[in-house]
Amino acid sequence: MTPRRLVEKPVDLTGDGIGAESVEPSDRVVLVEEPVDLSGPATRTVEQRPLVEEPVDLGPSSDDAAASSDAVPAAETEQSAPSAVRPGRIRRARALDGLRGVAVLSVVIYHLFGNAMRGGYLGVDIFFVLSGFLITSLLVREYGATGRVSLGGFWTRRARRILPAAVTVLVTATAVAGLIGGDVAVKLKEQFVGSLFFVNNWVQIAQSQSYFADTTPRPFMHYWSLAIEEQFYVVWPLVFLGVMLLARRRPVRGRMLVAAVVATVIGAASAAAMVLLYRPDVDPSRVYFGSDTHVFGLLAGVVLALVITTPAADAADSWPRRIGARTAAVLGATVAPIAFVGLIVMFFVLPDTSPLTYRGGLLVACLLTAILVHNAVREDGPVPRLLSLRGLRWFGERSFSLYLWHWPAFIFARQLIDGGGNETTHSAGWVIGLVAAVVSVVLSELSYRWIETPFRRLGFRGVLRSLGGNARRMAPSAAVAGVLVVAMLAGSALGTSPDKSELEQQLDRLAQMQREANAAPPPAAPPRRGLPAGAEITAVGDSVMLASSAALNRRFPGIYIDAAVSRHYSGAEPVLADLEATGQLREFVVLGLGTNGQAFPGQLTRMIRGLGRGHKVILVVPFGPVDGIPQAAQQLIAYVKRRPNVYLAPWCSIAADHQADLGADGVHPLGPGLRFYADAVEQGLRQAVDGRADPSIRCPL
């Protein structure tokens, strides 16, 4: 019998058809038997290779839009690192998956559980930094290995990574919205087309949609961030190659630094544009949705990648250590934990409507994330160990699907459970959130297993070939039939989608009635005891007053009302000035504002002084479970305490006691709620007639 011995052989674990998105397992070895000739002296030496025992994760490294799977697993320690990372690839850093988990959980909590995490929207900016970093790291590695970048290959991998899950959610949610009907089906066509072609953010800007208001539920509102990332994936590789061409006389490393300078300038311009375009008196959705004003997070990741990623094809690590081990350990034990704690604190203390958010808050969050990303790939200190926890990595690996599914699941759960009423929303908001969370996790796991992973590993053609090879089995046939049914339902939903929600239609009707009532001569109705006649009252307000205008006309026949949707104090100022200049301003002036933000410092005083002498002002105290409204209510209560001839209409306390009579947004009155709004105005007018202000108003929010 021929003697045999055990030797190490490298094994390819990827199998056929994995493609460019697979994890590189080139350092795996197995023990195989080989014949040994023992008849003579040993003249042959077997090459010895160190065995590195580490788990190999062949799953994708997914983030909010398109984190790369072109990575190999990180070694357990710097000393046990395997041989050089394959040219064009990047090492897999498990802490990045955990950071993705933190990001997606913060966004889900922010959307599903309201004020539990007011700054959870910052998770999207974490995704931006991660995406910019990973995509640019791949560009650097490919350029360093080949001297070029295959744009076709790059865009194909991104499409293979993003389109299957994104389109699946898009079509399925459209079909479900059509079946449910009502407000969730409003403007589905515009949402669908904008999301399908990754211009959702600009469509919402063009339609003046708000990310922060809750008047009309939009199942694909969250696709705005996916749109920004896809636009970035189209433009940034072209910019990168352009810089490489212009700086071709420099060494490769120098070209990367030039690109980093260019990215820094563009990112600084984007952050400056957000600061300059932001106006505290209007909804901040324009600067939040804008690719021009919100791309700095992606570019923060770009700059980090250009600085720390090596283009050397024979490098043992895609992100080699450039500082001493002792210095790195100190930074990992100090700077990284501070950045992590700072980011977590921002999750809880930085509301989405705060001016600080758009005047540097988002930028600070991105810079803190960049510190954490660098620390995650270097694996120094306690933060990478925390982010490498299996639970966080589980959510991080499924973060793309979870991000896609959670918002439609919430919209549909709220519609089915709430039914458009507000009483259920307030009493069972957490139940709705929990239902949506469970459904989202289940759907994201199914999507991860059966949509993301097959397309990532096999590609479009590979999946089709796989289905064709299993054509005789029932499962592929059922899957095809299911896809056809869902597609037909989605098409029907798109064709029958209404243009406006029920609230918007109602406000349009009321606006027309308001214009007709203002044009008609005031009736000679006698005033009620202790109240002025309608002909003595001018009312200027926002959509809450507009929703209540019919009730105000019935209560005060002849009242002049000028109310408009999304009106802030700044929008009311010119209306009042015009009425005063034309002599149309009556003795009693009712201001129903505050739903869309507080007055600026000194603005209330300026507005009231501009009315001139002889006017009595009634300020309607706003109500609503929306960040900014409680602050606006407290502002009015504090203001009246030191002002003569200014009185309060206690809508805040009355609405709090009758929340079942508000709309689904918890702000606009419906049904009996309209009468209650008129009651609040009446109480304010009685105070004005008596000359005795009552500042003791209870505002529970």
Helix, strand or coil for residue 31? strand
CA distance 590 to 43: 102
Between 665 and 392, the more confident residue is 392
**AA letter at 187:** K
Question: How far out from the chain centre does Cα 179 lie?
Answer: 26
Q: Which of 112-126, 164-178, 404-418, 491-505 has the lowest mean pLDDT?
A: 491-505
CA distance 490 to 192: 10
Looking at the predicted structure, is the pLDDT value of residue 59 above 90?
no
Cβ–Cβ < 8 Å for 649, 623: no
Residues 6+ positions from 521 with CB-CB distance below 8 Å: none
Q: Which of 113-122, 223-232, 422-431 has the lowest mean pLDDT?
A: 422-431
Q: Which two tokens stand for residue 435?
A: 């239902």
Give the C-alpha distances (Å, rounded to integers) separating 76 from 79, 92, 161: 8, 11, 28
Q: Which of 10-24, 25-39, 513-527, 618-632 has the lowest mean pLDDT?
A: 10-24
pLDDT of amino acid 468 = 66
SS3 of the chain: helix, strand, coil, percent, to 5: 60, 5, 35
pLDDT of amino acid 680 = 95
Residues 6+ positions from 236 with CB-CB distance below 8 Å: 132, 135, 136, 298, 302
Q: Which two tokens stand for residue 88?
A: 């064009």
- Pairing mode, if any, of strands 4-10 and 29-35? antiparallel
pLDDT of amino acid 84 = 62
Listed ranges 114-123, 269-278, 477-486, 499-508; the one with the highest mean pLDDT: 269-278
Which residues share a beta bridge with 379? none
pLDDT digits (tens, 9 = 90+) for 90-105: 999 999 999 999 999 9
pLDDT of amino acid 32 = 45
Helix, strand or coil for residue 428? coil
| Helix 94-112, helix 399-418: angle, nearest 10 | 10
Listed ranges 13-27, 306-320, 460-474; the one with the highest mean pLDDT: 306-320
Cβ–Cβ < 8 Å for 405, 444: yes
pLDDT of amino acid 477 = 66
User: Which contacts of 201-206 are long-range, i.e. CB under 8 A and separated by 24 or more positions?
Assistant: 201/225, 201/227, 201/228, 201/289, 201/290, 201/291, 202/227, 202/289, 202/291, 204/285, 204/289, 205/285, 205/286, 205/289, 205/290
- Average pLDDT rounded to a whole number, residues 327-346: 94
pLDDT band at 475; cut points 50, 70, 90: low
CA distance 96 to 249: 35
Q: Which two tokens stand for residue 315?
A: 């490098």
| Residue % of the chain over a pLDDT of 70 | 83
Listed ranges 129-138, 480-489, 493-502, 569-578; the one with the highest mean pLDDT: 129-138
User: H-helix or E-strand containing 24?
Assistant: none
Tell me, letter by letter, the H, E, C secondary structure of 335-395: HHHHHHHHHHHHHHHCCCCCHHHHHHHHHHHHHHHHHHHHHHHHCCCHHHHHHCCHHHHHH
pLDDT band at 474; cut points 50, 70, 90: low
pLDDT digits (tens, 9 = 90+) for 666-696: 888 988 889 999 999 999 999 999 888 876 7
pLDDT digits (tens, 9 = 90+) for 550-572: 899 999 999 999 998 878 898 89
pLDDT of amino acid 374 = 96
Looking at the predicted structure, is the pLDDT value of residue 266 above 90?
yes
CA distance 397 to 276: 37
| Closest listed residue to residue 599, CA positions, set 559, 632, 555 | 632
| Closest listed residue to residue 120, CA positions, set 436, 383, 349 | 349
Cβ–Cβ < 8 Å for 127, 426: no
Listed ranges 77-91, 231-245, 314-328; the one with the highest mean pLDDT: 231-245
pLDDT band at 664; cut points 50, 70, 90: confident
pLDDT of amino acid 525 = 61
pLDDT digits (tens, 9 = 90+) for 290-315: 999 999 999 999 999 999 999 998 88
Residues 6+ positions from 249 with CB-CB distance below 8 Å: none
pLDDT band at 447; cut points 50, 70, 90: very high
CATH 3.40.50.1110 domain position(s) in the chain? 502-690
CA distance 317 to 111: 38
Cβ–Cβ < 8 Å for 44, 5: no
CA distance 49 to 400: 38
- What average pLDDT is seen over the chain? 83
Question: How far out from the chain centre does Cα 174 lie?
Answer: 20
pLDDT of amino acid 469 = 65
Between 336 and 497, the more confident residue is 336
pLDDT of amino acid 208 = 80
pLDDT digits (tens, 9 = 90+) for 344-382: 999 999 988 889 999 999 999 999 999 999 999 999 999
Looking at the predicted structure, is the pLDDT value of residue 82 above 90?
no
- Average pLDDT rounded to a whole number, residues 587-610: 91
Looking at the predicted structure, is the pLDDT value of residue 456 above 90?
no
pLDDT band at 457; cut points 50, 70, 90: confident
CATH architecture assignment, domain 502-690: 3-Layer(aba) Sandwich (3.40)
**AA letter at 285:** S
DSSP 259: H
